[in-house]
Structure 1
Amino acid sequence: MSAFDKLHRFIFPNANVRGELVRLDESLNHIVHSYEYPVQIQRLLSQMAAATSLLTATLKFKGEIALQIQSKGPVSYAVINATHSQTLRGVARWDETLTSLPESFGELLTDAVLVITITPDEGERYQGVVALEKPTLAECLEEYFAQSEQLATRVRLMTDLQDPENAKGAGVLLQVLPTDASATDVSQATEFEHIATLTDTLTEEEMFALSVEEILHRLYHQEDVEVFPAQAVSFACTCSKERSAEALRHVEKAELLAIIEEEGAIKMNCQYCHTEYRFDSIDVEAIHNGNMPSSNTNQ
């Protein structure tokens, strides 16, 4: 059984701090190898996937969370979607006319914002926006939590792209647990900084080579740490023929039939998993009569 594609939660009960550690490989490779992404974009998506997994673990309800970057730089768009059950999917768009891409986060994404969207299965959607003005994605996420929740947060994001066939991403998140007392309590802040300083000593080599048990022992063997059972992380796409049909329902029937007459069928491709859904004239008639085609019909 792989030691990766698992999210590990832990708390420091004496310090009122919680932590999460995630390491991805197979789930990540479904994302970074879905297109011929340059290594710079593979790195960005790997960091975003690890970060999204960590943020999804903070949800206290069933639902989805999305990290979306919008930029005027070489990478115009990147998004990772995740569910409360730790399923991930993602995609990026970039200027493919460029012969090379910059290496730094800031040059890859200029005039950029990070949009964090939380969509509960029940209840209202929440959206937060933070400018990507820090030199790393991790620091931008820390800024987001400082602005939106006023909670001390430390984020570490790492990637291992040495093997072109097996990309790896990982991350650690530490956060002060909200209490009735002020989050700026001096003793609590001191404890958090102490644990954060210990966490900052973790190297990429250790993150990807050691077991999680060894990592936690190496970092926090002098601390009181309670570790919870790991949660599996996987790639999964939420596309379906029903969802594609729902989109077509909002297009005039005559326009759809004209496309079918010219091209033989309407073809809709999922940008995440590349599944193709095909619709003929019978499907279009059914859609506009309120009878959606099901996924067990021919794609």
Structure 2
Amino acid sequence: MTIGTKLAWDDTVLPFQLDNADIRGRIARLDGVLDGILKQHDYPPTVEALVAEMALLTALIGQTIKLRWKLSLQVQSDGPVRMIATDYYGPEKDGEPARIRAYASFDRDRVSEGNPFDQIGKGYFAVLIDQGKGTVPYQGLTPIAGGSLRACAEAYFAQSEQLPTSFNLSFGLSTEAGGIQHWRAGGVMLQSMPKPGEHVANAEGTGEGGLLLAQDLVEGEAEENWNRVNFHLDTVEQLELIGPSVSPTDLLVRLFHEETPRVFDSQSVRFGCTCSEERVRQSLSIYSSKDIEKMTTEEGIVTADCQFCGAHYEMDPKTLGFEAGQDEG
């Protein structure tokens, strides 16, 4: 796929509602965000694909959190890809961009080509929401299942939130004029809006290992609406999700014009990391001088690297730990 120009709707999330079906959703397009995430690392192609998919899911899910909140998605597994971690930082103020960062931990000797999801073994998919100081972070877990990270996210919403949720995602390398390649991603997220008094806690799961699926949570008119809307979503093409020709609003009309789509203000997203030397120092403040000495290099410094953005920090060991400065004077 060849795309030569930056598009106005790149790195944005557009929330919408389908009034005739009682379904809400988001459309996301990522470009520079993925460049910021992936250029920091030398990931194999299969790992890059997993990180791109996880970042796209993070953008779609994260748009619902409030200002200054933090959403994290994590995959932990016993496969070649041991962990994928993403963070979505809600805007500080209305109108400001949200920030996303992501990284993967993997065993390079075990990573192979082929289906990226095959690089993830048994484990869990986690969603964490941090509302800030003075609050207890929320955490929800679901087993790795379903054949894709998208399916894991759908299972999480069915199991933990009991919200019928579906995703259609596309991501891959695009080629600019001159042969420069970079990653792009686009996707749509749908969620059925439960009516007051609905209760489905006793629904039986038909998914892998007995997990609940979206279709296990809908019945009657809600089921008809859900099946109809997802039938249309399944007709979307890759270039409509990540190409330059179809804007998110045009895509909504093409897919769901009979459902009376209604859009809300879009949210811009950027690659952004919160690491700093001060944060590194704070994380080391619990260690004694003897512990710090074990971390000191032959050059007489303590180093730290951010796994998200690749920032490198070098610090004087005498200034680190809870005993720092006690020998002075």
TM-score with structure 2 length normalisation? Answer: 0.81
Contact 2:286 2:321 in 1 (8 A): no
Contact kept, 8 Å, 2:289 with 2:323, in 1: the verdict is no
- Counterpart of 1:55 in structure 2 is 61
- Paired residue secondary structure (1:167): strand
SS of equivalent to 1:158? strand
Q: 1:35-54, aligned counterparts within 5 Å? A: 35-54=41-60
Q: Secondary structure at the match of 1:263?
A: coil
Change (3 A) 1:258 1:81: closer
1:133-169 CA distances to partner (integer Å, 9 max, x unpaired)? 2112212211111111111111112112243631011
Does the 8 Å CA contact 2:13/2:267 hold for their aligned counterparts?
yes
In 2, the alpha carbon distance for the partners of 1:259 and 1:140 equals: 38
Shift of 1:103: 2.0
Q: Which of 272, 280, 289 pairs up with 2:316? A: 280
* Residues 1:130 and 2:145 are matched in the alignment: no
RMSD over aligned Cα atoms: 2.2
- Specify the alignment match of 1:109 in structure 2: 120
CA distance, structure 2, for counterparts of residue 56 and residue 63 of structure 1: 9
* Match of residue 85, structure 2, among 75, 79, 82: 79
Indicate yes or no: 2:203 matched with 1:169: no
CA-to-aligned-CA distance 1:60-103 (integer Å, 9 cap, x gap): 464111111111112111111111233111111222124x6142
Range that drifts further, 207-216 or 227-236? 207-216
Whole-angstrom CA distance in 2 between matches of 1:75 and 1:9: 32
Distance in 2 separating the partners of 1:139 and 1:130: 11
1:61–1:120 CA contact under 8 A, matched in 2: no
Distance 1:221 1:204 in 2: 19
The offset of 1:47, in angstroms, is 0.7
The farther-off stretch of 168-177 and 248-257 is 248-257
1:218 matches 2:224: no
TM-superposed CA distance for 1:222, in Å, is 2.1
How far did 1:7 drift?
A: 0.3
Runs of 4+ in structure 1 deviating by more than 6 angstroms, as ranges, are none
Contact 1:48 1:80 survives alignment (8 Å): yes
CA distance in 2, matches of 1:253, 1:127: 35
Matched, 1:251 2:287: yes
TM-score norm. by structure 1 comes to 0.89
Do residues 67 (structure 1) and 73 (structure 2) align?
A: yes
The whole-number CA distance in structure 2 between the counterparts of 1:179 and 1:62 is 29
- Map of 1:207 onto structure 2: 241
Structure 2 Cα separation of the partners of residues 2 and 255 of structure 1: 50
Residue 21 of structure 1 corresponds to 27
Cα displacement string for residues 16-71 of structure 1 (whole angstroms, at most 9, x for unaligned residues): 21010101010111112211111111111111001011111232464111111111
**Residues in 2 aligned to 1:180 and 1:172: alpha-carbon distance in whole angstroms:** 25
Shift of 1:194: 1.3
Deviation at 1:186, TM superposition (A): 1.6
Matched residue, 1:293: none
The one-letter code matched in structure 2 to 1:252 is: S
